[in-house]
Amino acid sequence: MTLLSEKELEKYSRQILIDKVGIKGQEEIKASSVLLIGCGGLGTSAAQYLVMAGVGKIKIIDFDSVELSNLNRQTLLLEEDIGLKKTEAIAKRLKRINSASEVITQTKKIQKHNINKYLKPYKIILDCTDNFKTRYLINKYCHKNKKILISAALQSFDVQAFAFSSWKNKKNPCYECIFPDIGQKINNSCDQLGIIAPIAGLGGVIQATLTLNVILKNTKEIFQEFISLDCFSRNFRKIKVRKNPECKICNR
């Protein structure tokens, strides 16, 4: 007996056909809930594919409004949305893509004082933000509270992506093992560094795919990998990464 309706069996038939998914995997995808922080290029693309894949519950947190300069890379947004809160515009589109997925929004900025309130109910957190300060905050919280963190960063033609569960053992790194916070004020957002349109989509797609791997429990080595795509030189690499013995966050 499956928990999937006739309609769901038809809708997800191309996923269910895959041995690595099957009916059981699709049921696990349906039963999962995911939190996304940041709804720019990464967040819109990741949210879109997670909802299309049948994730049962998705919460998106963002405080920005839609601007004209977002529209070169942020899917789900249209010219008519300019001036609206991103969460509002995106939730509307996600519901039209998959009315069966529960979409919850929070128009807030994640900060030290509210991070626990918003992240606590979720086991899988997608960091789709574009600044080091928030990334360090999310990483610290996820390590301390045993959350799985799926992170990505974008710049010009480059994508970097990771899945973290640094609390699980003595080998898995956290975000700061790779990018230690040395107190420098580095701004690495798209606003400063620029980005070519499809790269944002690609980063979000990789985050969504890593998330589905985690939901389907295909996690062998996934938490010790640095995925790097240089789409200008077409140089795609997977680098093995381990916990940094000097890390201030996860190696205490």
Positions that interact with Zn ion (CB under 5 A): 174, 176-177, 247, 249-250
Closest separation between CB of residue 179 and Zn ion, Å? 10
Q: Which is nearer to Zn ion, 115 or 249 (CB)?
A: 249
Q: Which is nearer to Zn ion, 45 or 166 (CB)?
A: 166
Q: Which is nearer to Zn ion, 129 or 172 (CB)?
A: 172
Closest separation between CB of residue 249 and Zn ion, Å? 5
Closest separation between CB of residue 125 and Zn ion, Å? 16
Residue 62: exposure state from Cβ atoms within 10 A (0-12, 13-18, ≥19): buried
Q: Cα 231–236–242 angle (5° rounding)?
A: 130
Closest separation between CB of residue 174 and Zn ion, Å? 3
Q: Which is nearer to Zn ion, 124 or 177 (CB)?
A: 177
Between the CA of residue 182 and those of 111, 166, 236, 248, what are the distances in Å? 20, 20, 28, 11
How far is residue 38's CA from residue 62's CA, in Å, rounded to a whole number?
Answer: 5
Cβ contacts of residue 176 below 8 Å, gap of 6+? Answer: 136, 139, 140, 244, 247, 248, 249, 250
